[in-house]
Structure 1
């Protein structure tokens, strides 16, 4: 499991590191609005900055989202299945679709980046000539990390098939709804009941 957790940590570190792109996007976009509409002096780099930052965030957040099981899935029926059946379905999908597709992404992305570096490709959408070969280099890098995370996810499926339950994931930031559900599960495990808010309100009135 230490190898799987190492891959999870790598995906988590990558995702959180590139999350700073959101701050750069926000500051850059705000600055562009200010100088364009108040000073009538638009920049020549804001558009390039926005799609480069968003592209980098989109690419490098993929492995992190997979490590948190955060990708959208049609789980109306899936969530009602036994965990071993869920693991079998996921394992088949990882092997048949995810890993081959990501392998193609790495291969083609490498050729894509190599060609871009060959002539020091620059943006054609602004007079600034912003370099975009660093962004294209992220395609095979993101593919590699996503491939490793896919192997870790497939290994989780194998462990679930063997043990009958999903192995725990590393603790991380959670949505409020998910945190509340986990608290409710812990209460049920310890035989505690959920506080009845209406009773408390009636007692307060009395």
Structure 2
């Protein structure tokens, strides 16, 4: 039985996850200073000065004698809580790929998070347009925040696309092969994805860790930690894409052969909804352009 998708909780939980993750990301140097402070005094002073400059709640005081305050700790706890609840409550939408395993729910939940990030990105851009051209008071943060959000959207959308099998594929040779050879192609492509992810993580881990540990910023007036967050995120998402590719291979192993045609681009459910809206007999003599239907005269 198909479970209903699109309930309110499926949108509130990703939004709560984004709010907690955003707060945690902005205040992450507090936990670095508390748990693994830099041994170099100059680096410690630089990081602590950066955190104090960006701290949204500077008057609360840190818990346990450290830098992270109660709100920071709540955000730290909220990220895994919202993630677990979101993974447990996510449901397949009618237009999404039908083959699901429990492991697929992480990618789909991150897909919902990506959708909410797109909404937030649009809100930021619309706000900037309004204050710049209507109020003549442009912000110092909208452009960099848009770049930051767009980077996360690009990465997490790639994971969702892998789970949905919606990445670009050329089927001309694939469809002409028997199923055992198709499985061989699938295995080779999955191995290539895993190898790419391994060498990318192996070669980029050191640089990503240095940027993250130093909390490297963008160097603008807003000065967001784009380098410190996007570089590790690239490695994390590529690793998740490799894991998802393995899950796809296992899920599709016993699938019947498919023949891909131009008809695959037709959404049957959308056509059914259109037919239901206009009636069982279709549009008949109705002019869908709302103009008069002209009959040819003999």
Aligned to 2:194: 99
1:134 shift after superposition:
2.5
CA contact (8 A) 1:63 1:146 kept: yes
> What aligned pairs does 1:99-138 form with structure 2 within 5 A after superposition?
99-124=194-219, 126-132=220-226, 133-138=228-233
Aligned to 2:167: 71
> What aligned pairs does 1:38-57 form with structure 2 within 5 A after superposition?
38-57=134-153
Which structure's relative contact order is higher, taking Cα pairs within 8 Å and 6+ residues apart? 1
Aligned to 2:291: none
Question: TM-score, normalization: structure 2?
Answer: 0.51
1:60 shift after superposition:
1.2
Aligned to 1:187: none
CA contact (8 A) 1:123 1:129 kept: yes
Label 1:83 to 1:181 Cα distance change in 2 as closer, same or farther (>3 A): farther
Between 45-54 and 107-116, report the one with greater CA deviation: 107-116
Label 1:68 to 1:182 Cα distance change in 2 as closer, same or farther (>3 A): farther
Label 1:182 to 1:88 Cα distance change in 2 as closer, same or farther (>3 A): farther
Q: Deviations over 1:115-161 (max 9, x none)?
A: 1123211112x21211222333312221221121011122235434x
The one of 149, 156, 169 aligned to 2:251: 156
CA contact (8 A) 1:105 1:139 kept: no
- The yes-or-no answer on 1:144 pairing with 2:239 is yes
More helix, by proportion: 1
Aligned to 1:88: 184
Q: Deviations over 1:55-105 (max 9, x none)?
A: 10111121211111100112244345554443332222221x211112223
The unaligned stretches of length 5 or more in structure 2 are 1-99, 259-263, 273-279, 286-298
Question: TM-score, normalization: structure 1?
Answer: 0.71
Taking only aligned residues, the RMSD between alpha carbons, in angstroms, comes to 3.1
Between 64-73 and 10-19, report the one with greater CA deviation: 10-19
Aligned to 1:29: 125
Label 1:37 to 1:22 Cα distance change in 2 as closer, same or farther (>3 A): same
Aligned residues: 174
Instruction: Return the index of the structure with the highest Cα Rg.
Output: 2
